[in-house]
Structure 1
């Protein structure tokens, strides 16, 4: 296999990593990684206490060079989940920053503190690169349908994904990536840290997200920004009244959003304030990256773009048959194959076998495909595909319609059983602090006389508060989309439950 990080092998003097005011060049990173690879060499797996720090980045790089599988651990993981991860992955050593207070299951393991500025006498050469199928990382899923599963990611998947993004994003060694994402998952660690190192560029990690930090780094030498929708929502809200932030975002070469769909309203506000479009990409732990809007392609807001080079993507219907239509309307499950795929779920041959359909990985995500080949994710098969009144409806398009109302700050859409419809659409809404009502609504009712859904919808307005009312939002969705896609129940909340990546935890809404 080719060298994973050529600039590291060459001990380049170029800047590599910067976290806050602490930084390492490639030469310095090689000098500390070389001795560290020898200290951890021979281990089967090591756990990495994945704080957003220079120590975490150094630990993962050293493990990759030593051909030791690294298991990034979220420092906010609960006790029972952590116990499962440690028992399942069986690391023989934990790498952490000095002074970190490790919880029980990790505290019981041998520990090695990482000093990113340690020098062990003369520089030592890095070991030979292992084969491309060598497991590099074991990243645990969120565990929404049971105990988290360990996704075994080989070096091949990391290299091929990052090279495909080089093509799609025109990513070069001259790029300086700015981000503030956690380092225990694909987006923050593989794309955000290993991506710049693969290219020979550099990463500036803010440690903690702030609009001030983004403005400062992009106004200096930052050329790319990686974020999640909650970050871009805050940037959009502030950029309109903050010329310095708008100018900094506008000078970035590339703004990338991922991990969840970016609402169209945020796309529009960022573009209006900065003149710069945010592009979206689509991936998951098991597949790394599958599709992206291209940096040199046509703008495609609301979509996750086209398949990356070397990646094959298809939509299938409920019978597993490939969907040939590219009409932007027909919904199917996304299946993927290519060199970006994981090897297996650790210790779970049953789950691994069930995840594949004749070599195609079943993502569980539902999407449409337009005439230009762009995919639009409408939600998860298990939670976001709603079958109501004979229609298949994606929760994502209803959420976008709700967010287009000026009185809505946040929105989530789920389903619940309905004797007549099969499932009825339920909206969960956080109202904007200052709202402006939409134009008066026409009476709600089926525009199409063949619409089987009744014209009225029960609503929950018990929480009171400012407008918009539930009935106003129901009518708004009916006008924006179609009457059969309007919510049947509307709940108002102070906030939506989210995980560390900003993804809405829909299962907690009904709980």
Structure 2
């Protein structure tokens, strides 16, 4: 029996993975995965060309069973980034779906085609699966926003700890059917979205590609109880739910709606709540830490927060001098630092970067936040891009973005800082208008922010753009704006 996926052999006839019309029962998944694991056992690192297909999920499960580190590869990576990841991780083989053509950057690598049909004689491996700390489960590469992507080595213990923590927080059981359309090369879509339901003994229904109609069908006709998404997805759902009665019923009937990977604007929280009666749960995590905090379905509803620390995770705020922030006033800003069994082991081949990421056993996330009297954390943003020091104040970009999104005629908003000879930095608002031909009035927009927040948080400059640059997870790439 698999220690990381103990449900694999317990309920053979139950659907495990559903991708469109392709459905693999637990028995079929176990048979095919053990057969592939036999081909992977004893290898070094195994890469997986992580398309949104059942072949990706099967290959990752097989790697887990074989006890080899799995390196998910983003199929949308550019040539330079892909070449870097492959040179850094040096996989022995790349698992691919049938008829996959790898790009030139992967030419010359040994490939192994993943087949979904289990052989008749498939059986568990003769050698035991490694223990929780014995080996890496996955090596997930960062987005590379501050340099070349780094390989985040995640132990089996870390994966199990984070999945069990969120299961407790979200009351996640084997009766749940998880719906999502997230990519399968990162923590959210792969670890939470694939290994999460399999560890619980539940079912994953992957949409392949996000669509409002797909979400509606999956939550109504196909038994979905949980929905995982990112803010750009929930923004589209919020826009549609007010006029789409079927979607509103589907979202309102789900047991749990979870948003992650970036902050969900309060405006979208409120629109979904108003249209459906349902509330969206936010959680906070990253590649190096997996999951750290979450709001709870049975707890207080605090839109714009990421909840309280998960059971096995310690979280603290630290000021610029490295001192612990004791204030819980919801205003004092500090860097989030975490420790617990959910933390990564190391950056692959980067001992200096690994050591520099920690302060006395605490991982320095680089994210800044406030904390209220009930222990709820509100993410301000990245210390490097979302904390603006203007006129002696520390200003978080996130709360200004939320205020901007409330203003009529604003479809999307991002806030950055720009050098200013008087203020040090000035607040710059980047606005995607709902109607390009009739953008919001700049003065009225900035006055709105000053009235809702404070005068010193008023944008000093407004720039109208047709779209905001985003990565595959929907996060705004603010360095490109700058």
Q: TM-score, normalised by structure 2?
A: 0.98
Q: Distance in 2 between matches of 1:385 and 1:365?
A: 9
Task: Mark the structure with the bigger radius of gyration.
Answer: 1
Deviation at 1:471, TM superposition (A): 1.4
Deviations 1:233-274 (A, max 9, x none): 000101100100000000000000000000000000000000
Q: Which residue number corresponds to residue 120 of structure 2?
A: 121
Indicate the residue corresponding to 1:493 in structure 2.
Answer: 465
Work out the CA distance in 2 between the residues paired with 1:298 and 1:290: 18
Contact 2:347 2:353 in 1 (8 A): yes
3-state SS, counterpart of residue 3 of structure 2: coil
CA distance in 1, matches of 2:27, 2:98: 23
* In 2: Cα distance, 1:302 partner to 1:12 partner: 41
Name the count of aligned residue pairs. Answer: 479
Name the counterpart of 2:215.
214
Q: TM-score, normalised to structure 1's length?
A: 0.92
- Whether the 8 Å CA contact 2:2–2:8 is kept in 1: the answer is no
Q: Distance in 2 between matches of 1:470 and 1:55?
A: 50
Q: Which deviations, in whole Å up to 9, do the C-alpha atoms of 1:294-330 show, x marking residues without a partner?
A: 1211111110000000100000000010001110000
Following superposition, the deviation at residue 9 of structure 1 comes to 3.4
Q: Deviations over 1:360-400 (max 9, x none)?
A: 00000000001111000011000000000000000001000
**Alignment deviations for residues 121-153 of structure 1 (CA, whole Å, 9 cap, x no partner):** 323124522121210100000111111000001
Counterpart of 1:158 in 2: which secondary structure?
helix
Query: 1:114, 1:76 → 2: CA distance?
Result: 20
How much has 1:106 moved relative to structure 2? 2.1
Q: Which runs of 5+ in 2 are unaligned?
A: none
Inter-partner Cα distance in structure 1 for 2:85 and 2:392: 42
1:478 matched to 2:450: yes
Match of 1:99 in 2: 99
Specify the alignment match of 2:290 in structure 1: 288
> What residue number does 2:438 align with?
466
Cross-structure match for 2:358: 356
* Structure 1 runs not aligned, ≥5 long: 434-463
Q: Deviations over 1:92-129 (max 9, x none)?
A: 10000011110123231111000111x33323124522
Whole-Å Cα distance in 2 between the matches of residues 11 and 49 of structure 1?
A: 29
Partner of 1:66: 66
Q: Which residue of 2 aligns with 1:439?
A: none
Question: Within 2, Cα distance between the matches of 1:250 and 1:392?
Answer: 38
Q: Retained in 2: the 8 A contact 1:94–1:106?
A: no
Secondary structure of 1:71's partner?
Answer: strand
Query: By how many angstroms is 1:467 displaced?
Result: 3.5
Aligned partners of 2:114, 2:175: CA distance in 1, in Å? 28
- Report the equivalent of 1:505: 477
1:300 aligns with 2:302: yes
RMSD: 1.1
Q: How many Å apart are 1:2 and its aligned residue?
A: 7.7
Secondary structure at the counterpart of residue 81 of structure 1: helix
Q: What is the distance in 2 between the residues matched to 1:111 and 1:472?
A: 58
CA deviation digits over 1:160-203, x for unaligned, max 9?
Answer: 00000111000000000000000000000000010000100000
**Displacement of 1:11 after TM fit?**
5.4
Q: Could you say what secondary structure the match of 1:173 adopts?
A: coil
- Do 2:2 and 2:65's aligned partners in 1 also have CA atoms closer than 8 Å? no
Is 1:237 equivalent to 2:209 in the alignment?
Answer: no
Q: Which residue does the alignment assign to 2:158?
A: 157
- Give the distance between the partners of 1:483 and 1:2, measured in 2 at CA: 57
Structure 2 residue 423 is matched with structure 1 residue 421: yes
